[in-house]
Structure 1
Amino acid sequence: LVSLSAQSLRRILFGGTFHVFNYEWRKSFFQFREPDSELSYALETDRFQGGARAIQMVVQARIIKHLLFIRPSVSDRWTLHDVGQRDQEKALAAALSDSLWLAGQEASATVTLVTEDYCITPHLDYKMDNFTERLQLFTFSKKEDVRKFILDHIQCEEGHGVILFLYSLICSRTVDALLNLLLTGKATPHVFNGTLYFDEDGRPLEHPLQGVLSRSDVGFLHWSREQMDRGRLPQVGSMLKTPRFPVWICCINSSYSVLFSLNRSLLSDWRMEHLFQLYYYNGDTHSHHWEASSRHSDGEPEKKFPSLEMTIRTKWAGAVVDWNNILPFY
């Protein structure tokens, strides 16, 4: 990595070369829970609700997709229980390579690793972080080569794995909207379908707004109590609501999590939607129960039901949610 590239990376992320990653980012990496356990499919995440956790949850969604629907199986269906360490590593490599390959528009991908050598010397226009200055870039033109390289260097991701992945995404393709880049390979800050040419009053926009143009492997659902109260809840389009696999990133009250089904037919057979089971993981294994507000809740579903239920109903309008003997949360 040359000096100019290091400065460009910092400008893309922070708008300048004097800002550095905070403690939350620096300590975030991709670490599975105990192998061969009930939660062996799950990544450990910090309780801080920041950008690093959002990226971890997107990778978690792709890990679930791989474990349930992609990896070879001797039986009809895999489960998420009792995933061994080697399968954990393979799933992580597949999830990371999937996203990087999409970011490179399915033509190439770049992986960044930290080396001992510095590519930049201290100067007044750049604040050192002892990390960006030691990056080495590896570019590949075949997706399988990306996956194998990541799998071979999976231990190198420890310590700064989320930052390395973020830098790899940017080097694969410079972006402004990382979440949609992760989901679809398209860098757009909007979640509606297609292109918007007119505003809410029907007036032509000076610059049309680009939304999501195609379905992705993993979907996206969004709900916010605060935005709902202000009448400013963004409408997620069907392209993101109906992915190829029944796995959704959820942004609920600015916190990221994953919702998924074991049944892929849920997205292709309308009869499956009459009664189906969903699973939810937000990285937090502690118990946080929800209680209905007793004030001003009459006739207002968004105040009578947990936020997770309201999120589910953005995909399945009018759905009745049975919490399966679990106290409602979120």
Structure 2
Amino acid sequence: MATGLRKLLFGDVSHRFSCEWANAHFRFHQPCSDLAYALEAEKGGTRAILMAVQAHVIAYLLFVRNTRHTHLDRLRRVSGQEQGEALAAALADTLWAAAAGGGGGRRVVVCLAAAAHIVPRGDYEADSFTERIQLFEFSEKAAAQEFIFDHINCFKGEGSHGVILFLYSLLFSRTLERVQEDLDCTATPLLEFSFGNITCTQAVLSLLLTGRAGLHELDGSRESSSGAGDAGRQRGPVGYLCGGGGPVGWQASPGLRTPRLPVWLCSLAGRHGVLFGTDSRLLSDWKRERVFHLHFYSGRARAAHLTIDTHSHPWEEARSEGPSSPGKRRPLVEMAIRSKWTGASVSWNGTEPFF
């Protein structure tokens, strides 16, 4: 199983995670502060996973847990206990979605590190962590969520390898065999080496957002072989927007651009952040999409408040010019927003655009 993980992630059992990945865990900002709801995320390949989980954390805190109102102050009043509850819910939701589609019913797998370890064989190079993984299986999401909350420090504690533990849990919940089928049985690894960094491929983002690791789930171009609707066309709880860095004309599928809740993971030329609104009816009442407010968080020490006006069109690009043409460049966040609301104007409300 450890060998299968290595091959699926890197394509070769001799590769190992970098120190950046080994040190990555789910770390919140201070409770009861302006960013109490937010996970800290440095630059690097782990940010994609952290921001995907962040999207689910925000969706839970704003729209799922039992509270009366949806507004930004709710997020700022989050306590340490609530941070753990939100993280447990976000992880469980993502694992539950990945576990869907199995022949014997859903089976969520949660990975924790134990004291004992296996003895590697052959070309497998030990990393002193993967060899200690112990698997816990659950047939109900509530039981998995409770277990994760009881062991939340295994994901958010310093030195816990929390991000890798979650990634392993995600793959085992989906099963290694079904992930390989999602990839059309190609030898394409889930992680890639880029300028010395280990980064997530589109397949990993797809697994985080749709529960499938398909290469074309995010743009909705692949039809399901089972005859069911394509995962990328269905409306999930959180969505996905792309603001540059992909092929010309590429955009997320309609289902991901219009999720059930106004929360999106944004891919911005290889970097990632979360765009979210506090109006639960934003995507179900067209009148609310005339002028509305969104917030953008990228894992650093600040968030931006944006005002979107879909009836004003100050920015019209000529068809013959690309978004990177001289005089035509705009912040990547704005490009992502316009992939959903074509021609909308975006005000940063006095904040200097930083993405």
CA RMSD between the two structures: 2.2
3-state secondary structure, aligned to 2:339: helix
The answer for unaligned runs of 5 or more in structure 2 is 184-202, 225-229, 305-319
Give the one of 38, 55, 61 matched to 1:61.
Answer: 55
> What's the counterpart of residue 108 of structure 2?
109
Provide closer, same or farther for how the CA distance between residues 46 and 211 of structure 1 changes in structure 2, counting only shifts above 3 A. Answer: same
1:235 and 1:122, CA in 2 relative to 1: closer, same or farther beyond 3 A?
Answer: closer
What SS is found at the alignment partner of 1:67?
helix
Flag the 1:301–1:234 CA change in 2: closer, same or farther, 3 A.
Answer: closer
% identity of equivalent residues: 44
Q: CA deviation at 1:284?
A: 1.6
Which of 199, 208, 214 in structure 2 is aligned with 1:188? 214
The TM-score, its normalising length taken from structure 1, stands at 0.85
For residue 266 of structure 1, what is the aligned residue in structure 2? 282
Cα distance in 2 for partners of 1:321, 1:122 equals 54
Moved more, 93-102 or 185-194: 185-194
Instruction: Look up the match of 1:217.
Output: 237
TM-score (norm 2): 0.79
Alignment partners' CA distance in 2, 1:193 and 1:156 = 35
Distance 2:167 2:323 in 1: 38
Question: How far is the alpha carbon of 1:261 from its aligned partner?
Answer: 0.2
Counterpart in the other structure of 1:256 = 272
Residue 151 (structure 1) aligned with residue 149 (structure 2): yes
Among 69, 73, 76, the residue aligned to 1:76: 69
Instruction: Report the Cα offset of residue 300 of structure 1.
Output: 5.9
Of 132, 135, 147, the match for 1:134? 132
> Which residue is 2:36 aligned to?
40
- Would the aligned equivalents of 2:241 and 2:251 in 1 still touch at CA under 8 Å? no
| Unaligned ranges ≥5, structure 1 | 198-209, 289-297
Distance of 1:279 and 1:77 partners within structure 2: 13
Contact 1:32 1:44 in 2 (8 A): yes
Distance 1:11 1:319, change over 3 A: same
Matched length: 297
Give the secondary-structure state (helix, strand or coil) at the position aligned to 1:149.
Answer: helix
Deviation sequence 1:214-248 (CA, Å, 0-9, x none): 11111000021x55xxx624222211100011000
The reply to whether residue 239 of structure 1 matches residue 266 of structure 2 is: no
The reply to whether residue 324 of structure 1 matches residue 338 of structure 2 is no
Q: 2:167 is matched with which residue?
A: 166
